[in-house]
Structure 1
């Protein structure tokens, strides 16, 4: 089995993907909250 050196892996791609996922999740949560507020105001 190959030797593994802790901390030697390039994780730039992982960090970029995770940052995109967090940004996407933030947008989706904001849009969902906006839709819920609109529905509450429109139903009044």
Structure 2
């Protein structure tokens, strides 16, 4: 069995995926908040 050395795995793809996920979640949350504020103003 190969020896494992901590921190030697290339995780560039996983980091890009996680950054993309966080970006989508942040943009979606911002859109939802803006949409709810718009609904509150329109339906006043």
TM-score over 0.5 (shorter chain)? yes
How much does 1:4 deviate? 1.2
Runs of 4+ in 1 over 2 A off after TM superposition: none
How much does 1:14 deviate? 0.7
* Mapped partners of 1:26, 1:43: distance in 2: 26
1:20 corresponds to which residue? Answer: 20
Question: RMSD of aligned C-alpha atoms?
Answer: 0.9
Provide the TM-score with structure 2 as the length reference: 0.89
Provide the TM-score with structure 1 as the length reference: 0.89
- Unpaired segments of 5 or more residues in structure 1? none
Give aligned pairs, total: 44
How much does 1:2 deviate? 3.2
1:37 corresponds to which residue? Answer: 37
